[in-house]
């Protein structure tokens, strides 16, 4: 029999519960009575219109701190606009979306060798035949896989029409078993363990088509919120992930054992923030699901600012947009950048064997192939096996970190302002039409210089004297070279362009070369421009309109801004990842490390892109210098100039017709053009240089902020 104490405890618990939101129809009535649009409410709650629609249809409810804010707003509206007459009628539930079966996949030969820590690739699927959708049930089912799509939701990518990927490339799973997909899709996921989740995912039309006809489709990705991770038996936090990369669950963790008992496998990376659970391909069909755990740091704050803390539907919207524009995430943005290179230029393709009775894997021209290629000794990193005992110097092609010698500063000191100009996606711009080696390096003594051939050249450029008010184009520090050194082709070609003879002592050249990075550049450039257009910034704007639009980006949709940051990080990080250094406390100098076994460990390609980016920047600085404009500092893709005005319109030169001067820095949204990075006083910049700092590093935020009034 129930006791009075038990009843009191139960009602006390009920009384202590968080106040509930009014019914969905009442939420809509109150907002409309106040004359507030969903867009305006979304702005006030710092979220998206789609999320507000979810709140008003009770698909999802806000969490703190939005919950209290939303409750407070509704309570105030209820006081001002009390209901009159009958109680509001709740809106009809959206009709369930018909479930579409996955199309059959035909068998074909393997198209690419997988990395050592990846499940083996399945044959590339043939295009799916058109499949008629299954008739919708009379009422929404309450079982696993029931799906609803909001009336206003639309598919935003061409592949969304492929029934095999009807739910999109990924799903974000919340702690209550709700999975969010493309265009506001909401699914009920019954899985309570990781193996069940994998089985359920593979039964859904989730994934993405190959980016190249010789490639393979992207495996489905499930993104786990902290609550979802806990519900699946995972720890909410992976201890130490903030300090150390590469942490993972121990092999004796119950979830890892659970995966093994269910006959699934983990790659050699184990179960970390990004995990892959798979079985060998069966009947030509890959059986692999990617998992990303948000609370373990899967979405780095620098690359995806603020996204991991967002609502699940916002996370799904942002990651789906990124997957449509770039690639389904497989790790950090640098990893994605590297994976995108291979996805767009797969190393192999299916081909008939000589007998004509079977299929074999054939090399794809222009790709890097399936086998790793060791660098030339001067291209290696100091810990590389080939570098041990090497005493003839190393290639040192890095981005600028230079400040002006204040003894050369004269008229600039009288300028009131210092303006930072940031080159948009400088490394991405440099990757365009850049020839890179497709074979092993060949050692040559005293060759004639050929600017078309990628390679590393030993040459003395110390005799070249340039204006001391500009950095040297030959060194990252901007200091004049002191003797013979190794340079990448673009750097030597620039010395020739400046009118100097070069005497090559020896070189490591790659006679087989091609524009391997072109598809990568083109896709990321298109992704960048599309996302900027989503934020209201488009090519062809005049300078004033461009600056105004860029200023509005700061207050634009947070999820779209996160996608923009991730695209930029993918471009920059992908180039950096071409030279992954040895890591780990147990690494011994001179030993090989895992990254050396992949074909995309190519420090020479990284050097080519960075060299070209630095040379591109120097060319523009020379054009500016021809008009008497000299920088105060340069750091990577940011250059700081003294300016008579608090904006770039009074600084950047133009022709007599008012158009931007060819060859100089130019405002614009495309890679290689510039945007305003920051404005401070010239006095601030000069003081910083005197203290040993670089104004290009701090001008965005400043060691101290200069509050500027007036200007252009």
pLDDT digits (tens, 9 = 90+) for 305-330: 999 999 999 999 999 999 999 999 99
Residue with tokens 């100091």: 382
Q: Residue 628 in contact with residue 397, Cβ under 8 Å?
A: no
Residue with tokens 């799903």: 171
pTM score: 0.80
pLDDT at 376 over 50: yes
User: Would you call the peptide bond into 310 cis, given omega within 30 degrees of 0 as the criterion?
Assistant: no
Q: Is 214 left (phi over 0), alpha (psi -120 to 50) or beta?
A: alpha
Return the higher-pLDDT residue of 153 and 536. 536
pLDDT digits (tens, 9 = 90+) for 596-621: 999 999 999 999 999 999 999 999 99
Quote the CA–CA distance of 181 and 185 in Å, as a whole number.
5
pLDDT digits (tens, 9 = 90+) for 404-459: 999 888 877 678 999 999 999 999 999 999 999 999 999 999 999 999 999 999 99
pLDDT at 710 over 60: no
Domain ranges of the chain: 15-80, 147-331
Q: Give the DSSP letter string of 299-351.
A: S-TTTSTTTTTS-HHHHHHHHHHHHHHT----SSHHHHHHHHHHHHS-SEEEE
Q: Which phi and psi angles does 529 have, rounded to 5°?
A: -65, -40
Alpha-carbon distances of 129 from 6, 101, 122, rounded to whole Å: 62, 12, 19
Q: Residue 667 in contact with residue 543, Cβ under 8 Å?
A: yes
CATH ID of 15-80, from 1.20.1280, 1.20.1070, 2.60.410, 1.10.260: 1.10.260
Quote the CA–CA distance of 338 and 328 in Å, as a whole number.
12
pLDDT digits (tens, 9 = 90+) for 660-679: 999 999 999 999 999 999 99
């Amino acid at each position: 029999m129930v006791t009075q104490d038990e009843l009191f405890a139960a009602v006390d618990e009920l009384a202590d519960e968080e106040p509930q939101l009014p019914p969905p129809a009442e939420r809509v009535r109150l907002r409309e009575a106040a004359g507030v649009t969903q867009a305006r409410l979304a702005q006030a709650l710092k979220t998206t219109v789609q999320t507000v629609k979810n709140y008003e249809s009770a698909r999802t409810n806000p969490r703190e701190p939005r919950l209290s804010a939303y409750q407070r707003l509704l309570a105030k509206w209820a006081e001002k606009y009390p209901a009159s007459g009958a109680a509001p009628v709740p809106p009809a539930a959206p009709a369930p979306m018909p479930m579409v079966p996955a199309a059959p996949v035909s068998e074909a030969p393997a198209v690419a060798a997988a990395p050592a820590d990846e499940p083996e690739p399945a044959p590339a699927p043939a295009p799916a035949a058109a499949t008629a959708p299954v008739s919708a049930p009379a009422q929404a089912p309450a079982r696993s896989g029931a799906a609803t799509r909001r009336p206003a939701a639309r598919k935003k990518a061409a592949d969304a029409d492929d029934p095999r990927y009807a739910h999109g490339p990924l799903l974000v799973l919340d702690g209550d078993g709700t999975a969010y997909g493309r265009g506001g899709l909401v699914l009920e996921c019954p899985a309570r363990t990781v193996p069940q989740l994998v089985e359920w995912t593979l039964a859904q039309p989730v994934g993405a088509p190959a980016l190249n006809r010789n490639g393979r489709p992207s495996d489905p990705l499930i993104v786990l919120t902290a609550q979802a991770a806990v519900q699946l038996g995972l720890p909410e936090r992976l201890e130490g992930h903030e300090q150390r990369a590469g942490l993972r669950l121990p092999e004796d963790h119950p979830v890892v054992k659970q995966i093994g008992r269910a006959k699934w496998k983990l790659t050699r990376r184990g179960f970390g923030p990004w995990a892959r659970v798979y079985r060998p391909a069966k009947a030509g069909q890959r059986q692999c699901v990617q998992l990303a755990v948000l609370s373990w740091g899967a979405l780095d704050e620098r690359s995806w600012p603020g996204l991991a803390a967002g609502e699940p539907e916002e996370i799904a919207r942002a990651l789906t947009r990124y997957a449509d524009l770039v690639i389904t995430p497989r790790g950090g943005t640098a990893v994605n950048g590297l994976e995108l290179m291979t996805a767009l230029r797969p190393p192999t393709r299916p081909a008939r064997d000589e007998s004509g009775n079977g299929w074999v894997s054939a090399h794809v021209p222009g790709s890097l192939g399936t086998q790793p290629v060791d660098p030339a000794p001067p291209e290696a990193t100091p810990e590389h096996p080939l570098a041990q005992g090497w005493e003839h110097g190393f290639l040192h092609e890095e981005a600028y970190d230079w400040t002006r010698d204040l003894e050369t500063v004269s008229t600039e000191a009288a300028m009131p302002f210092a303006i930072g100009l940031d080159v948009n996606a400088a490394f991405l711009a440099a990757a365009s039409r850049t020839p890179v080696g497709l074979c092993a390096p060949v050692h040559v003594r005293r060759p004639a210089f050929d600017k078309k051939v990628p390679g590393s050249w030993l040459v003395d450029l110390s005799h070249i004297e340039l204006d001391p008010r500009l950095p040297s184009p030959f060194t990252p520090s901007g200091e004049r070279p002191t003797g013979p050194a190794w340079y990448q082709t673009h750097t030597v070609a620039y010395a020739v362009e400046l009118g100097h003879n070069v005497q090559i002592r020896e070189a490591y050249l790659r006679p087989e070369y091609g524009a391997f990075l072109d598809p990568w550049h083109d896709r990321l450039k298109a992704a960048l421009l599309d996302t900027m257009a989503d934020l209201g910034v488009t090519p062809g704007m005049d300078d004033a309109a461009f600056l105004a639009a860029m200023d509005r980006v700061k207050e634009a949709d947070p999820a779209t801004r996160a996608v923009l940051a991730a695209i930029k990080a993918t471009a920059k990080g992908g180039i950096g990842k071409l030279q992954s250094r040895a890591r780990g406390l147990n690494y011994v100098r001179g030993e090989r490390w895992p990254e050396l076994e992949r074909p995309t460990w190519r420090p020479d390609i990284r050097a080519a892109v960075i060299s070209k980016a630095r040379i591109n920047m120097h060319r523009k600085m020379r054009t500016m210098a021809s008009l008497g404009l000299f920088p105060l500092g340069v750091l990577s893709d940011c250059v700081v100039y003294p300016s008579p005005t608090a904006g770039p319109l009074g600084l950047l030169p133009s022709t007599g017709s008012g158009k931007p001067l060819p060859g100089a820095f130019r405002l614009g949204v495309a890679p290689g053009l510039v945007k305003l990075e920051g404005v401070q006083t010239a006095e601030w910049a000069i003081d910083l240089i005197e203290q040993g700092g670089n104004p290009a590093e701090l001008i965005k935020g400043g060691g101290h902020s200069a509050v500027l009034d007036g200007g252009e």
